[in-house]
Amino acid sequence: MKSNITFNILINNILILGLTFIMCSFVDVKAATITVKVKSGSSPLSEASVCLGDSGNNSKYGYKKTNNQGKAVFEEITATQVKATVSKTGYSGAQSTFSAGTDVFVPFNLTTGDQGPVCGKTSRLTPVNKPIKKSSVVHSKDKKSTTITL
């Protein structure tokens, strides 16, 4: 009798799990609008690079620059887990990972510096602090080429 009850419970659980799986496969994924707001202190930060992606590709879902209000708006994002990366030359970059099943507002407050993550479309040039020891310009005799040595 006990094994019969256990078997019935097992069959019921399998049926419930199966029906749940079938029902979930017909559910549409809602596209979300993600608004990223970037400030430095209390001031909006325009022209900051904003990437939406995942751990493998930080701009998989899009890349934008912030407007004069410090906002970048991404529409029709269907991913459930999203990583936002924000950077701007002269500021330390930042990242945030969040669930995006519904419309999301993601605030960032960047500080001055040049560290942290970088949005995929941004490049930072590292200055070279070496003095130039030798500089010369040599023209060829036929004046068709110039060699510059630094």
Q: What's the total number of domains in the chain?
A: 1
What pTM value is reported for the model? 0.62
pLDDT tens readout for residues 102-150: 899 999 999 999 888 998 644 443 344 444 444 455 555 655 555 555 4
φ/ψ region of 116 (left if φ > 0, alpha if ψ in -120 to 50, else beta) reads left
Whichever domain contains 73, its CATH number is: 2.60.40.10
Residue 86 lies in a domain: yes
Residue 59 lies in a domain: yes
**Number of C-beta neighbours around residue 62 at 10 A:** 16
Most confident of 10-14, 17-21, 34-38: 34-38
Residue 72: which domain range? 32-109
Confidence (pLDDT) at 130 = 43
